[in-house]
A and B are shown apart, each in its own frame.
Chain A
C-alpha cells in the first residue's frame, strides 16, 4: 500500500530564510506532484516530477525527486510572506492511477 509522509507538518519561518520540506513515499511511483493550498481555497499545481533526478524551479520554490530514495524535496529560498500556505506532496501509484496525498505542511512566513 502506498503511503506518503511529509515533514515538517508545521513550519514557521522568518522572511528571507531558506528551508526544505520533505516528502517520503513507500513504494515505486510514476510521478510526484507538489500543490499549494490557501485557506478555504482549492489546490494549485506547483510542480510535476516524472523521473529520477528531476529538478524544477519556479520563483523561490524548487522541487526535486530522488526515486531511488523515494524522496522529494521542496526548497524555499528567501521566503516571503506571500508563500504562507499549506503545501501538499502527492504521489501516484504505479499502474493504479490513484493519487495519495501527504498530510500537508502548513507554512507561515513571518514578516
Chain B
C-alpha cells in the first residue's frame, strides 16, 4: 500500500461545530504532517509528528488540535472554526523527518 488516505473528502461545518479530519497511511512511515492550502496559494505547514510525538507546531490557533494515536493514523480535531479557515487540508507522511513526503488527496473544508 503506497498511498495516504484522508477522510472526509469534503466537509461543511458551522462555526460552533466540532469535527475531525482523519489521515491514514500503511507504508510504515514514522513522520506525518498537516498542511493548510488556500486557493491559489502554496501549502502551509501546520503540524509535524515524528514517532507519534508532536515535533513542529507552526503557531497554529488552538481551535485546531492534532492527534497521532498510532504511527499509521493522524487526526485533526476542529472546534469553533472561522470562515477564513475554509481551505484544503492536506496530510502527508514520510519515512522519517527529512525524507520525501507523500501527500493524501486532501479534505476540502468549508466553514459557514
Task: Give the B-binding residues of A (Cβ under 8 A).
Answer: 30-31, 33, 35, 40-45, 48, 88, 90, 92, 97-104, 106
Q: A42-B90, A42-B106, A43-B90 are in contact. Are A103 and B56 (CB under 8 A)?
A: no
Q: How far is the CB of B11 from chain A (nearest CB, A)?
A: 15
Collect the chain B residues with CB atoms within 8 Å of residue A41's CB: 105-106
Other A-B contacts than A92-B98, A97-B48, 12 sampled, CB-CB below 8 A, are: A41-B106, A42-B103, A42-B104, A43-B103, A45-B103, A48-B100, A97-B50, A97-B55, A98-B45, A101-B42, A103-B42, A104-B40
Identify which of A88, A99, A104 contacts B45 (C-beta below 8 A): A99
Contact sample, A vs B, 13 pairs, CB 8 Å cutoff: A41-B105, A42-B90, A42-B103, A43-B90, A45-B100, A48-B100, A88-B42, A97-B48, A98-B45, A99-B101, A103-B41, A103-B42, A104-B41
- Give bound CA distance, A44 to B100, whole Å: 11
The reply on B64 being an interface residue by CB < 8 A is no
B: contact size bracket: 20 to 34
- Give bound CA distance, A106 to B105, whole Å: 20
Taking a contact as CB atoms under 8 Å apart, the answer to whether A97 and B98 are in contact is yes
Identify which of A43, A97, A98 contacts B43 (C-beta below 8 A): A43
- Give bound CA distance, A31 to B94, whole Å: 14
The reply on B97 being an interface residue by CB < 8 A is yes
Collect the chain A residues with CB atoms within 8 Å of residue B102's CB: 45
Q: A88-B42, A97-B55, A101-B42 are in contact. Are A30 and B104 (CB under 8 A)?
A: no
Collect the chain A residues with CB atoms within 8 Å of residue B42's CB: 88, 90, 101-104
Collect the chain A residues with CB atoms within 8 Å of residue B106's CB: 41-42
